[in-house]
Amino acid sequence: MKKINFVLATLLAFAATAAHADIANAEKLAHKYTSIAKSVNANFSGPSVADGKFFFNRKIKTAAGKAQACASCHTSNPADEGKHAVTGRAIRPLSPAVNFKRFSDIDKVEEQFTRHCNDVI
Start-end of H helices in 1-121: 2-40, 49-57, 70-74, 106-117
Q: Which residue range(s) make up the domain with 93?
A: 2-41+48-117
Instruction: For residues 97 and 23, give the distance between their C-alpha atoms in angstroms, rounded to a whole number.
Output: 8
Query: Domain of 13: which CATH number?
Result: 1.10.760.10
- pTM value? 0.69
Task: Summarize pLDDT for 32-74 with one digit per residue, the tens.
Answer: 989 988 999 999 888 888 988 998 899 988 888 889 899 999 9
Confidence of residue 11 (pLDDT cuts 50, 70, 90): very low
The number of distinct structural domains making up the chain is: 1
Write down the mean pLDDT value for the chain.
Answer: 79
